[in-house]
Each structure stands twice: as structure tokens, then as C-alpha cells.
Amino acid sequence: MSVNITFPDGNQKSFEGPVTGLSIAQGISPGLAKKAALVAVDGELWDLTRPIDRDATISIITRDKPEALETIRHDAAHVMAQAVQELFAGTQITFGPSTEYGFYYDFARAEPFTEADLEKIEQKMREIVKRDLPITREVWSHEAAVAHFEKAGEKFKAEWIRDGIKADETLTIYRQGDQWLDMCLGPHLPSTGRLGTAFKLTKVSGAYWRGDAKNAQLQRIYGLAFANDDELKAHLKMIEEAEKRDHRRLGRQLDLFHIQDEAIGQVFWHPKGWAIYRTLENYVRKQLDEAGYVEVKTPLLVDRKLWEESGHWENYRKNMFIAEVDEGEVAGVARKAMLAVKPMNCPCHVQIFKQGIRSYRDLPLRMAEFGACHRYEPSGALHGLMRVRGFVQDDAHIFCTEDQIAAETVAFCDLLTRMYKDLGFESVRIKFSDRPESRAGDDAIWDKAEGALRNAVEQTGLPYTMNPGEGAFYGPKLEFVLRDAIGRDWQCGTLQVDFVVPERLGAEYVTEDGSKKTPVMLHRAVLGSFERFIGILIEQHAGAFPMWLAPVQAVVAPIVSDADEYATKVCAELRKAGIRAESDLRNEKINYKIREHATQKIPVIVVVGRKEAEEGTVTLRFRGEERQETLPLAQALQRLLA
């Protein structure tokens, strides 16, 4: 048989019989064949060794391409699973997908894996890579697959096939060498040798079969994998730097906050942490005032009825905290009310909009709130300030006409990028999240909302990428992703176009011709939550906050006790000028004081001695700088306030 292959440049070539991506790559050049990882056949990724038995358009995917990285990581999971079973007889395999930076695999084993075991497994993986075992794809019947895994004692695999795959369906098996195999959709590399050595096992944790705590407990081994050793080393260096910047460790070291079991997922802010919080809140409030927002405050507990009307009860109930209260008796019948602690602010803002008659002249109405919200997050998902149950959003809702969507989006993007720059983030990426599978509103509404948002973001001139199916249940959204000082991405700001909730809650305005119309509601936030954003800021700056945001901006440290009175006066003058200052009058040597305050990341240490007291001067030592300046006190104040 003859197979006609079309290449990306439009050229065509005919091959006799089924041909593989690997043989095509070898025919082009040995170098390409060596670098090849996969072949795209009519846009679908295939194994290089899978026969192409039809006319097709193909492209060779080399291992340095992003498309190949997921396969490299998936291969690493399979090689790890083979290594585990070679080392620990009787261990059952379940599933092992690729992740953002690597892979994991879940195992059923009576004995717990140890750190020493990870070293053995990683060494065995390198042996399997050296063997360069061929990886081959096979198609099995449902019956044959169940029979094989049951005979092999792999009860989890057998159960998955019986319960999750129809009896008349076939499934694919990938074999590594002659002995080891796993059920998998693929694709995979041609051999274990193609995996390379850029992988590292990192930790063991618990997991449940099928993610259900009622099922058997498994052990999950995590690993990292990259296309080459340099990328792995760079990532490991980033992890090392991230550990130094961990906001939980710095929160303790700098005495900013703590979290305890009596209030799971909620933050106890200490004075220094609260100083950062208030400074940030005041900054945001100033930006919103200048941008024409009005600030409101809405209740924390709201009756279930409102959440049902808005659609949140149906779509968000599992994440809501509920309070049932006794409201007394009516006609001898006990009356109870079911209240929800608000997980978001939008339905409450609609209630304010509905008070009185709104005119088209009132629009756009930009309504902001530093809204306290609570969401149930599983305890295992909580992570310091980054993921909590109680938080405050810099939330706002813009009620506007359809014609105003684009202008409000452009204005918001300008505000957001300016604020991020002020906060030390230069790089911002935008993701466009369209309709999710579970949503409110018909397709016509979603077509209109997505079209309006796409037109608006294109008018900003900012580039964006698609994030399919990740919109809110009521509308599409833009997600704004920051990149921090060590290259990590954080999704913070959002802008959502909502035609659904204001209509469901009966919001209306009077149009120019006197008719009534439902406003569009733009949900928007810049920081997201204060708690999480402060966690990001701690890690971004490694605790060494810029002067304006530092909880303690200056410490006045006398060299000798004779200068204590002058130090107290200097501290008072700094505070009067609006500088957050403290004095250190302890009977310690000045070098000891300087070292200690340096570990506390204080931006400025103001040193005073007998000479400074006599002359009315101070000596300024700036964080991270060798130089110091001796200035008259008035001039020093100007210098610090500049």
C-alpha cells in the first residue's frame, strides 16, 4: 500500500506500506531522528513507532518542544513504576500522570516508602534508562486486559477496567521491554533511553484510590522531570530559593502572622503583619477613589434564599459555611432560618444596586468592597496565606450597559497593570477563560458575553491566551497572571462579564427611552485576596519589603546609653512625620543591634551616639548597602520621606 505524507511546509512524499514517524525522521536526517520525541498526525500526537497507515499531514515533535515535555514526564512516571515493582515485589500500581513540573504515581504497598527508598528508586530508574528498553504500543480487548491484571494481582487496574471501560471497547497497553507493562492512552517515547537523566524524585505523600477517602489508602511518589539537565538544575535552584522565601517561615521569623488549629484556615495577624495589611488596603483604597469607585459594606451572613436566586446555592453549595438559627415561632410553629456565610460579595452588591430607581445616567456604577468572605477548603488543600478559608477580597462590581463593557475593561486593565507595577510586578499575562461545562444561562447569553469580553480585551491591545472551560458559572473571565522574582506564576486579578446574575436577582435600570433593562455586571479584583497577595509579596521580596510597605520602616539604635534620650526624640520625630519607627534602647553593642535588625529586614537603621546628640544629626544605614550617611535630623527626615 502507498501512504501520502504531507509535511508542514506543504511538500508531499509517498511511502510504501505503513510508515512510522521515526522512519520518516531518519529519512530526513539522523540528527532529527535522535532529537525526535513524537509525531503529530493530523494534529494528534502519536508514538514515533506507531504505524501511519493512511494519508496524513505530519510534523516531527522534537524533545525541546513544549508538546514533548508532557510525554517525557509521563514516561518518567512509567519508568518509576517499573523501578518500584522491580525493587519492591508485591507492590500494586494504579495511575501516574504528568504534572506541571514533573509527575507522580500512586502505589498500593503495605510498607511505607522512606526517603532512603526514594534514592533506591531513582537509582533503579537510571538503570532502566540505561537499558534503553523499547516502548511498544499494543491494543487489547477488555476481557484480555481484565484477565491479565487479575492474574498479575493488580486488583486496582482490573477494577478500573471493569468499572470504567465498556466491555466492547479496546484499550491500549504500553510495554517497556518484555516484562513490564501498563494500561495507558499514550503517547510515549520510543524507548526508556530517550527519557534521559533530567529527573529527580522529591517526596512521598498519602492518597486515596479514586480520590475517595472511603477507599483504600495509597502512597504517592512525586518527581520532577525536564527535557535536559540544565532545566532540571534551574528548577531545583528555584525550589531552593523558594524555600528561603517561604512566607510561612518568614511570617514566623518576622513576627507577621500565625495560623492555629482552633481557627483552621484563618489568619491571626500580629501587629507587624497588620501594619502591612493596612498599608496595602490604604493603597488600594486610594487607587479606587481616584478611579471613580464607591465603597460599600455588606453583611457576612445572608439567607439561603438569596444564594438560591443568584445560582450560587446550586453551583457553589459545597464550598459554603452554613448557619441554621432559630427565628422563634409563627402560629405555634418553630421557624428556622438557614444562613450562609458569604463566599463572595456579588449578590449583596446587586441588593444595593436595586435600592431606589437607577437610570442609565447612573451607569457605569463602580461598587467596591473590602469584603470578608469564607469558603470551605479541604484541610489538606490549605497552605499558609496562599489558600485559606477566611479572607478579604479587594472586590468590586461594575454595573454598566453593553456598550460600556469595552471602555470599562480597558480602564480596569490600565488600573490593574499600574497597581501591579507599583507593587513590584512588571510581567503580567492574561488568560481568557470561556464557558465551563456546568453553567447558568443559555448558549445565546454565553455567545454574547464571550463576544463582548473578547472584543473588550482586544481593545486593550494586551496579548492573551485561551483557557478553555475555566469561566465562572455565570460568565467568561479574564485571569491576570503575575510572574514573581524567581519565575513563578501567580493568578491574582480577574475580570468577569456577567449577564446572568443581575437578571436572576431582578436588577434593572431605566433606559433613555424610559424602558427597563438589566445591567451587565463586571466582577473584578486586582489582588484577589489580601491574605494570598500578602503571602505572594512576602515571597516576592523575601521579607525585605520596600520602604513604603515595610511594617517597621526604621529603627533608632543608640550607640551608648548617654544617647538614649536623643534616640527617643528622634524616634518621636520620625513617627510624627508618618514613618513607622521603633527605638532600640537595650544595653547591647551597636554591632549586635545592627545584625539583629538586619535579620528582621528593617529598611533603615538610624544610628545615634554622643556626637549625633550634640550636633542634632543622625547616621542612616540602608538595608543591603555598605554606605551610610550622616545628616542633620531635618534633612534625614526629608531623605526618608522622598
Binding residues: 346, 397, 523
Structural contact between residues 534 and 280, judged by C-beta atoms closer than 8 angstroms: yes
The beta strand positions in 261-415, using DSSP E, are 268-269, 294-295, 301-303, 321-330, 333-341, 365-374, 390-400
DSSP-derived secondary structure for 259-284 = --GGGTT--EE-HHHHHHHHHHHHHH
Q: Quick check: is 623 catalytic?
A: no
Annotated binding site for Zn(2+): 346, 397, 523
H or E stretch covering 253: helix 247-253
Q: Quick check: is 255 catalytic?
A: no
Whether the CA torsion 156, 157, 159, 160 is positive or negative: it is: positive
Q: Which of 342, 366, 397, 524 is catalytic?
A: 397
Q: Quick check: is 523 catalytic?
A: yes
Q: Quick check: is 395 catalytic?
A: yes
Whether the CA torsion 123, 179, 105, 194 is positive or negative: it is: positive
Q: How far is CA 364 from CA 63, 404, 419, in A?
A: 51, 7, 21
Q: Which of 393, 404, 540, 553 is catalytic?
A: 393
φ, ψ of residue 337 in degrees (nearest 5): -120, 140
DSSP summary character for residue 514: S
91: closest CA among 128, 115, 117? 117
φ, ψ of residue 215 in degrees (nearest 5): -95, 180
Measured CA to CA, the distance from residue 107 to residue 240 in angstroms comes to 28
145: three-class secondary structure by DSSP: helix
The beta strand positions in 91-191, using DSSP E, are 92-93, 102-108, 135-141, 170-176, 180-183
Whether the CA torsion 46, 49, 51, 57 is positive or negative: it is: positive
Q: Quick check: is 346 catalytic?
A: yes
Q: Quick check: is 400 catalytic?
A: no
Q: What residues pair up with 617 in beta bridges, in sequence order?
A: 632
Measured CA to CA, the distance from residue 316 to residue 308 in angstroms comes to 10
Q: Which of 106, 395, 498, 584 is catalytic?
A: 395
Q: Which of 124, 194, 374, 477 is catalytic?
A: 477
Structural contact between residues 12 and 58, judged by C-beta atoms closer than 8 angstroms: no
Measured CA to CA, the distance from residue 555 to residue 570 in angstroms comes to 10
Q: What residues pair up with 139 in beta bridges, in sequence order?
A: 172
Q: Which of 523, 532, 541, 601 is catalytic?
A: 523
Structural contact between residues 372 and 390, judged by C-beta atoms closer than 8 angstroms: yes
Q: Which residues are CB-contacts of 512 (< 8 A; sequence separation ≥ 6)?
A: 360
Q: Which of 157, 194, 346, 366 is catalytic?
A: 346
Structural contact between residues 575 and 556, judged by C-beta atoms closer than 8 angstroms: no
Q: Quick check: is 397 catalytic?
A: yes
H or E stretch covering 223: strand 217-225
Measured CA to CA, the distance from residue 105 to residue 76 in angstroms comes to 10
Q: Which of 63, 74, 245, 375 is catalytic?
A: 375
Orientation angle between helical segments 229-245 and 530-540, nearest 10 degrees: 110
180: closest CA among 206, 157, 201, 159? 157
Q: Known catalytic residues?
A: 346, 375, 393, 395, 397, 477, 523
